[in-house]
Amino acid sequence: MPQQHTFTYSTVTGYFLQDETSTVAENFDFMSKDFGLLEKEYEEGTALDYSREKDTATQWRRFEREVTRLQKEAQSGTVYKVLYLGRHGQGVHNVAEKKYGTAEWDRYWAAQEGDTSSRWLDPHLTATGIEQAHAVHAFWKHQLAVAKTPAPQTYYCSPLYRCLETANLTFRGLDLPADRPYKPIVKELLREANGVHTCDRRSSKSTLMAAFPDFAFEPSMTEEDELWSATERETNQQLDSRFTSLLDDIFEHDEGTFVSLTSHSGAICSLLRVLGHWEFRLVTGGVIPVLVKADRGGGG
């Protein structure tokens, strides 16, 4: 029997470059494009009194006010959120796939734990991946101080090592509002497409908790990875159902409007499919915001 979900989701377009299918994902530089936020005017009555609060004249402040308006005028059961979707920095497995080529990687190497030069079972970031995360940290620092981009109110993260590293390097040490501290929450459902590929098999819970003591791990997470299968990989249909469940959890229980999710390429493509957005494939270290409308009353 198909799983019943709490909400139906859609992307509210017209606010970001990445919503437009004419935008080329592999060439998209979110850092030079203000996260892709479009310069635009909003409806009368949504403008702020700039004489009283100068920094509200930024495009992000106007957009934040627009989101507030949308929620205020929404019907009962409708929720708006802005999701900051971030892909981890380059991992050891990304280098290996490039080395062997995608066809040979999928045929053989993805199921191995490594080769003679590297290991990629729940791989760590490469030096390049660390640099990418540091660059995003510097970008967030600028956005918070100058562009007045709203800081996330909640930080969710995949339980795979490369995402935990990326989230820490990106957000730790930022000058965040007192009511929006960096307190990351690990969500098992936020992991990459599961099965066969050893890079998507997570480390033990105790290993991760020791390496990332400031992260909140779900009590339901098992010590060993009981979800990963050596013989079966999740289909897109299964992946989309999983991410619909994740979104249901977030939209049902998280009161924040601006939410960060640090995840993976395939996982983010699934999220975007569920949100009715085209599959904008992020490069390693990439981040895009998406304005989401959720209407209570899901389908199967």
Query: From CA 287, how far away is CA 88, in angstroms rounded?
Result: 9
Per-residue pLDDT tens digits for 189-217: 999 999 999 999 999 999 999 999 999 99
Predicted pLDDT of residue 52: 43
pLDDT for 2: 52
CB 123 within 8 A of CB 92: yes
* pLDDT at residue 289 greater than cutoff 90: yes
How high is the pLDDT of residue 280?
A: 97
Confidence of residue 298 (pLDDT cuts 50, 70, 90): low
Residue 213: per-residue pLDDT: 98
pLDDT tens sequence across 26-38: 999 999 999 999 9
Task: Compute the mean pLDDT over every residue in the chain, rounded to the nearest whole number.
Answer: 94
Q: How confident is the model at residue 51 (pLDDT cuts 50, 70, 90)?
A: very low
Percent of the chain with pLDDT over 70: 93
In a 10 Å sphere around its CB, with 0-12 CB exposed, 13-18 middle and 19+ buried, how is residue 235 labelled? exposed
Query: Which residues are identified as catalytic?
Result: 88, 192
State phi, psi for 87 to the nearest 5 degrees. Answer: -95, 145
Q: Which pLDDT score, from 0 to 100, does residue 297 have? A: 80
pLDDT category, 50, cuts 50, 70, 90?
very low
Over residues 63-94, the pLDDT tens digits come to 999 999 999 999 999 999 999 999 999 999 99
Query: What was the pLDDT predicted at 56?
Result: 57
DSSP string, 81-138: EEEEEEEPPPBHHHHHHHHH-HHHHHHTGGGSSB-SS-B-SSPPB-HHHHHHHHHHHH
How far is residue 79's CA from residue 116's CA, in Å, rounded to a whole number?
50
